[in-house]
Structure 1
């Protein structure tokens, strides 16, 4: 008959020595991946400038005829100062960042399906290699078009590869460990933001800064040497022998006396996979799956829009831009770690809805408070913006875990890819909002976060529930804890 996958993980040590080593390597890569996504915070930063031959007090953008030669401050260089992306070209920097998110969107669609077909590990390792190459090439570009092309490629592989890595991590964990490890992994990106702020403080040339961000990623070569393929994915593809071999090696490395007979897996997933091929349409074919996917897609859109909107806006808050960005990243660390208690005690659904509500109230509060006399953000607004960042960070952290636990194994990477695709639409829009003013941006963040908070209350709780393996596991309430609304939908179908 065999045993369930979670029972097999328990027998090989749960989160033993070798599993911790795997997680540590992926955590380190997550840290150094952060600067790649956030590059334009400083590389696309606008320095002080004036029109050559005119005083600083004269607005260079209002001159007739238009200014032909700009003089920039020497505190740092950026693509703005090198390619004159000021005045009517100011929005081009935001478009370049939007291309990163457009690449994310394309990547999660294409590579999300690839990871379900070819494996989590191969997709992750090759994608991260391509990300490093794209980042390095961007340092040698000679115009905005070339630079934007490298940003799109980076987003493509970063989106699809990062998603495959997250799903691999989740599938290697016991249910009781998912919240803690998921929060720790979320902190890796937060640390990456703070480290990038430190790098930018000491390296003021944008090309040199871009190259330096690539150097730590040399540890990527260790991934195929140290990290095995997802055993759960292998089992779902009918390769139970390979999955059991991986589990056996884990157990022996952890110093446990296990035998292969002790790790014989239940063949139910294999039989389901042999009988049916699952595609993206299966995410919307049945009523409960359809309802879950629609709510999750809206929530992913909201989290990405608000998270990146607040993060990219951090350098524009009052005070030192390097400190502001570092704080914007570091506030995620206590928020993520404290969320573990909420996730394990209150559950996934209350944490998700509650953190979105906090983010909503904070963003709306920024709109309600007046600015300082000099036009910069007041101290109260800055504090509210950071609280909003903490709230949306908890939401994003919870969302990765919550979504993964609500989707079946046979469609998990595909489903996460579709959710991430909707998120990237939010990421595309986020850099376009600042030119309309802070009030419009923060009002948008507050309204969409409030809407998602309400919608998430209709999702079922997944705390300490087994991961659904097939679509039938989601649709049948006896296997999966369903809300009253879901049971009604199921009976009507």
Structure 2
């Protein structure tokens, strides 16, 4: 599992430890890279922005199923013998009244004898060919591959494949990045993502499209994990609290950009080509993003690390020679203790409870986020406005998280944003559809609900990290956040429940959102508390 070359998340005060267990040997709290290049400077600002901007394509490919397979009206094609009837008249006489989108029609051979005859006497037969409403979307994967009726589940398979690929991509690229560095795997992910997106825009067969979509998902998952790790490795001190929040902000804006492009093109293939074109721009990162100096130091490549650190120090206005840098590196060489592993947390009584509660909370968070994102098309009449508005408002939610989390603490912040999301879900259920122009109240609360989730995710990341000990923090956080990815695979199944009851998916998400707040209650607040270094200390925290 990918680890970044530091063990702390947030700030600690080592003098405030009051654990009775034996403490590890005291180390210099300021790591060597921070002493050389500083906690935050021009170079860290540049890299942090570059990594955050990678959230744009991550958002596009995780959620563009919204515009690839949106809600779309369809009906059975009119046979030539019924040419004297208008489309409206044909749909009225051929379809059973109990179905909005009938997959079966009255037998045309019998219906033509007397269209007004008792329909109970006419058997139902499968529709041979469907016609799709192109008033909003000219082309979707639904219309291209007839993913309706018995094939409707294949639209959700598409999203499931994407989420499986992201999970596996995070693991595969994580191992790759641990072994061969951050820069090369990141660039390979960017190239694969762009090429696979270009291929997806022209591929004519559904099952081959799924294979290509899975490869794209692998790359997207790899980019996500590596970019996050790099954004954490380049900063130190208080910036390790702020940067993870800032890193998440472009995700919502990415949704707004995608909605604008979808509104312009109204064709999923043209949209995919446009996203591929934008994604290919990131290849220029090869010139801007060097290898991580922390990874180089961790793997013993001190000479390369020294040269990169010297250039970074120069950009940050810190005048250090190569000789001085090498001397600092030698002085700060420490023997790392092995991480305990994720299973060690499940064997410890107190940490087992924390780990299970965090895992369930991440599962609920992931399920609410991905299911609600796919459900957006049913919130209001204008799907483009719904996605764009929620994207912009969710970004504001991420901004507010920076201020709330530093003032009120981690646990309180997570609970507060989860409460906001839950209340918004309830209000959406209470407001009737189509009562207001463009369903603007429903869209507004959908946006605020997304803002709540946008504030929950970075706060929950930080809260999770501070509950795990320094030795094992990375593997602990990686382990519990994996459950959010698992939930993303379940999300399409939740969305399909709207075929039984229109708002059933949202009702389920409302209960889940309230339930996850209860899972926070047994967990301790970490704000202002020293972070545990060892598993023994974490057990008593």
TM-score strictly above 0.5: yes
Residues 1:372 and 2:433 aligned together: yes
Say which SS state the counterpart of residue 429 (structure 1) adopts: helix
State the shift of 1:124 in Å.
2.6
Residues 1:176 and 2:218 aligned together: no
Map 1:112-123; keep pairs closer than 5 Å: 112-123=174-185
Match of 1:398 in 2: 459
Residues 1:60 and 2:102 aligned together: yes
Q: Alpha carbons of 1:89 and 1:227: their partners in 2 closer, same or farther (altered >3 Å)?
A: same
TM-score normalised per structure 1: 0.85
Q: Alpha carbons of 1:242 and 1:413: their partners in 2 closer, same or farther (altered >3 Å)?
A: farther
User: Which deviates more, 398-407 or 260-269?
Assistant: 260-269
Say which SS state the counterpart of residue 139 (structure 2) adopts: coil
Say which SS state the counterpart of residue 359 (structure 1) adopts: helix
Match of 2:450 in 1: 389
TM-score normalised per structure 2: 0.78
Asked if the contact 1:3/1:264 (under 8 Å) is kept, the reply is: no
Map 1:30-109; keep pairs closer than 5 Å: 30-53=55-78, 55=88, 56-57=91-92, 58=95, 59-63=101-105, 64-75=124-135, 76-109=138-171
Match of 2:118 in 1: none
Say which SS state the counterpart of residue 103 (structure 2) adopts: helix
Q: CA separation in 2, counterparts of 1:163 and 1:68?
A: 46
Q: CA separation in 1, counterparts of 2:428 and 2:283?
A: 44
Match of 1:24 in 2: 49
Structure 1, unmatched stretches of 5+, are: 489-493
Residues 1:363 and 2:405 aligned together: no
Map 1:474-489; keep pairs closer than 5 Å: 474-477=534-537, 486-487=539-540
Asked if the contact 2:51/2:228 (under 8 Å) is kept, the reply is: no
Q: CA separation in 2, counterparts of 1:462 and 1:109?
A: 28
Asked if the contact 2:32/2:328 (under 8 Å) is kept, the reply is: no
Match of 1:211 in 2: 273
Q: CA separation in 2, counterparts of 1:236 and 1:302?
A: 35
**Counterpart among 165, 175, 186 of residue 248 in structure 2:** 186
Residues 1:439 and 2:503 aligned together: yes
State the shift of 1:454 in Å.
2.8
Asked if the contact 1:121/1:168 (under 8 Å) is kept, the reply is: no
Structure 2, unmatched stretches of 5+, are: 1-25, 79-86, 96-100, 106-123
Larger Rg: 2
Count of residues in correspondence between the two structures:
474
State the shift of 1:414 in Å.
4.2
Measured against aligned partners, the alpha-carbon deviations of 1:408-450 in whole angstroms (never above 9, x if no partner) come to 6765554444334311121111122222125321232222223
Asked if the contact 2:31/2:332 (under 8 Å) is kept, the reply is: no
Say which SS state the counterpart of residue 125 (structure 2) adopts: coil
Say which SS state the counterpart of residue 235 (structure 2) adopts: coil
Say which SS state the counterpart of residue 433 (structure 2) adopts: coil
Pick the structure with more helix per residue.
Answer: 1
State the shift of 1:335 in Å.
0.6
State the shift of 1:340 in Å.
0.5
Map 1:112-261; keep pairs closer than 5 Å: 112-239=174-301, 242-259=304-321, 261=324
RMSD: 3.2
